[in-house]
Amino acid sequence: MSEKINLGNHVLSENEEFMSANQKAYFRAKLIAWKNDILREARETLGHLAEESANHPDLADRASSETDRAIELRARDRQRKLISKIDAALQRIDEGTYGYCEETGEPIGLKRLDARPIATLSIEAQERHERREKVYRDE
């Protein structure tokens, strides 16, 4: 689809066929914008970490700086994993499987996808998954 999607005022319509070309274009634009934001933040973090690498003469300042750096790097690692999920979602759009539950094959739902564009399970399947996870965790 060649037309540009404006994420700020685009309205998803439940009246169209599920995963119409318009909906796919919307979710592709949303995923790409999200990925670009993460990459921009990562570049800013790298710049900040490079500036912060100066030695701190005070032991407390150095410890605080190292703690901040560790937290920042952990956050970047989570975001790196998120980028791979975004890439997988973009691939599902290309393959025509985006928006359908991996477990049941049923449509996930536009509201859920709008809130969590990398979702791979319907709400019901996700709840079942979380209940099973909780049972195994509690044992």
| Residues 89-114: tens digit of each pLDDT | 999 999 999 999 999 999 999 999 99
**Based on the number of CB atoms within 10 Å of its own CB, is 113 exposed (0-12), middle (13-18) or buried (19 or more)?**
buried
Output the CA–CA distances (angstroms, integers) from residue 66 to 41, 80, 92, in the order listed: 19, 21, 39
13 pLDDT band, cuts 50/70/90, is confident
Dist CA 82 CA 109 (whole Å): 21
Query: What are 7's two structure tokens?
Result: 């994420």
**pTM for the whole thing?**
0.77
Residue that wins the pLDDT comparison between 65 and 3: 65
Output the CA–CA distances (angstroms, integers) from residue 118 to 3, 77, 106, 131, in the order listed: 23, 17, 16, 20
Q: What confidence score (pLDDT) does residue 34 get?
A: 95
Question: Average pLDDT, stretch 56-85?
Answer: 82
| Residues 83-92: tens digit of each pLDDT | 999 999 999 9
Query: What are 68's two structure tokens?
Result: 């901040």
Q: What confidence score (pLDDT) does residue 115 get?
A: 94
Question: Average pLDDT, stretch 3-24?
Answer: 79
Q: What confidence score (pLDDT) does residue 1 get?
A: 40
Give me the chain's average pLDDT, please: 85
| Residues 19-63: tens digit of each pLDDT | 999 999 999 999 999 999 999 988 887 776 666 655 667 777 777
User: In this structure, which long-range contacts are made by residues 101-106, counting pairs with CB atoms below 8 Å and at least 24 apart in sequence?
Assistant: 101/125, 103/128, 103/129
